[in-house]
């Protein structure tokens, strides 16, 4: 098998991402996917009252068997899970690493779930709704930490494809964008199956990383979910055909078509392209982008969780204080600049402008020192516990947010300095005209 997979194989791996494995790559033997499914199916069918999660697991197993039987594909029966991540109780992020043989593997990220309050809050609340703001979601940060862990565990052993459905598709692309540098060259493709897009702020913050791997980014779209927010610059977007089955729960068919089982595949195993999006996607896509803009305008720090506690929390407080100082500096500059001159004529206080610019530069340097300290703490945390994963994820989110603010201050400083230079130059030109 080459580093590239067929549509059927990638869609199959995406569905395997919804199965609950418990494999620790550091100590456990790989688990054969087919044998695990057979055992799970038998166990669940023999239960008199299976839970909602168990019923969903059974439905996933049935969909996988249906897909492989329809396309007469048996190669997957040798696939093995070499590591799994199930953080439903903390961040909500789940993923399975599938060894498909010949030095290749797929990392399948799970989409949104709502079996209980915890998974519903983390997936649909913190992560799905969190995509509307400018910060990393906790699941995106956890996906980054998991990629670092996998690379530390396997190094260059595999060529990878990352894949996922819905929220999992968003995570699969993010995992490539933020993967360790040495790992990126071993990632062949990052595929999102009907996953939502990204905020303007996310795309701006990861501009260089996205450009670096844009030729590896692909997204299949067939429902309103994939119309939400913005596509990644340079990604290959493919609208595909999907059936509209009755869910049996009263949900309108056009809402239920988001499921992977609805994707239409031809006799050769290729996903069938569509000419255009459905009407609901055309309506909800622009609305989601408008909502994102309103949220960011109303309160750019609405996502911040004030209850976060972790080793080094004083650094967070220090970082926020420095941000407050920088904002105060800008306000003082504005007062000195626009209200510091004589009342009978307009005069810009150039010394105040340049002093404000220098203070902003110093604030940016201090914030960078804080970022370096946070990075030291993050890299020193171990991966061998759920708490370690969680704190690494939260620290990564914090770094991203503070670094974005530091970049804003640097741009303001540059703008202030440019304004002072232009005013001084214009003033000299005007003075010369009257001499």
Q: Are strands 159-165 and 187-193 parallel, antiparallel or unpaired?
A: parallel
- Averaged pLDDT, groups of 10, the chain, 435 residues long: 81 96 94 97 95 91 95 95 91 94 96 55 44 69 93 96 96 97 96 93 90 97 90 96 71 74 92 90 74 49 38 45 55 54 50 73 77 74 58 67 69 72 66 56
| Exposed/middle/buried for residue 212 (C-beta within 10 Å: 0-12, 13-18, 19+) | middle
Angle at 163 between CA 190 and CA 51, to 5 degrees: 160
SS3 305: coil
pLDDT at 244: 79
**Residue 41 and residue 57 in contact, taking contact as beta carbons nearer than 8 Å:** no
Q: Which has the closest alpha carbon to 106: 142, 133, 72, 82?
A: 82
Structure pTM? 0.70
Q: Which has the closest alpha carbon to 164: 178, 174, 152, 177?
A: 174
pLDDT at 433: 57
Rounded to whole angstroms, the Cα distance separating 418 from 412 reads: 10
SS3 238: strand
pLDDT at 128: 44
**Residue 187 and residue 162 in contact, taking contact as beta carbons nearer than 8 Å:** yes
pLDDT at 375: 75
Rounded to whole angstroms, the Cα distance separating 182 from 186 reads: 8
Starting at the edge strand found earlier in the chain, the sheet holding 104-109 runs 31-32, 80-86, 94-101, 104-109, 159-165, 187-193, 217-221, 236-239
């Amino acid at each position: 098998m080459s580093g590239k997979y067929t549509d059927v194989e990638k869609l199959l791996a995406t569905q395997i991402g919804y199965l609950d494995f418990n494999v620790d790559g550091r100590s456990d033997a790989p688990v054969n996917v087919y044998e695990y499914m057979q055992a799970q199916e038998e166990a669940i069918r023999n239960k008199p009252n299976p839970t909602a999660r168990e019923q969903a697991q059974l439905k996933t197993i049935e969909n996988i068997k249906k897909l492989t039987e329809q396309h007469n594909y048996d190669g997957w029966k040798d696939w093995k899970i070499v590591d799994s991540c199930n953080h439903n109780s903390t961040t909500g992020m789940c993923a399975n690493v599938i060894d498909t043989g010949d030095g290749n593997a797929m990392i399948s990220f799970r989409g949104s779930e709502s079996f209980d309050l915890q998974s519903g809050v983390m997936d649909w609340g913190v992560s799905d709704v969190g995509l509307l703001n400018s910060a990393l979601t906790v699941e995106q940060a956890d996906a980054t930490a998991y990629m670092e862990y996998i690379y530390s565990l396997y190094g260059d052993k595999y060529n990878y494809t990352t894949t996922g459905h819905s929220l999992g598709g968003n995570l699969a692309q993010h995992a490539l964008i933020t993967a360790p540098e040495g790992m990126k060259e071993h990632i062949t493709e990052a595929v999102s199956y009907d996953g939502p897009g990204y905020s303007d702020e996310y795309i701006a913050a990861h501009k260089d990383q996205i450009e670096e791997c844009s030729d590896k980014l692909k997204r299949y779209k067939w429902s309103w979910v994939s119309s939400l927010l913005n596509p990644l610059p340079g990604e290959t977007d493919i609208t595909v055909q999907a059936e509209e089955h009755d869910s049996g729960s009263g949900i309108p068919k056009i809402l239920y078509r988001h499921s992977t089982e609805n994707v239409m595949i031809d006799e050769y195993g290729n996903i069938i392209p569509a000419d255009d999006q459905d009407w609901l996607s055309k309506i909800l896509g622009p609305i989601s982008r408008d909502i994102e803009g309103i949220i960011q305008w109303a309160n750019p720090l609405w996502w911040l969780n004030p209850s976060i506690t972790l080793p080094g929390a004083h650094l967070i407080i220090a970082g926020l204080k420095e941000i407050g100082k920088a904002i105060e500096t800008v306000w003082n500059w504005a007062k000195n600049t626009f209200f510091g001159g004589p009342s009978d004529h307009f005069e810009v206080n150039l010394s105040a402008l340049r002093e404000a610019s220098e203070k902003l530069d110093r604030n940016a340097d201090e914030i960078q020192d804080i970022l370096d300290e946070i990075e030291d703490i993050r890299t020193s945390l171990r991966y061998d516990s759920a708490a370690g994963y969680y704190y690494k994820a939260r620290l990564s989110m914090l770094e991203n947010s503070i670094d974005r603010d530091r970049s804003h201050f640097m741009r303001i400083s540059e703008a202030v300095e440019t304004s002072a230079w232009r005013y001084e130059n214009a003033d000299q030109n005007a003075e010369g005209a009257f001499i």
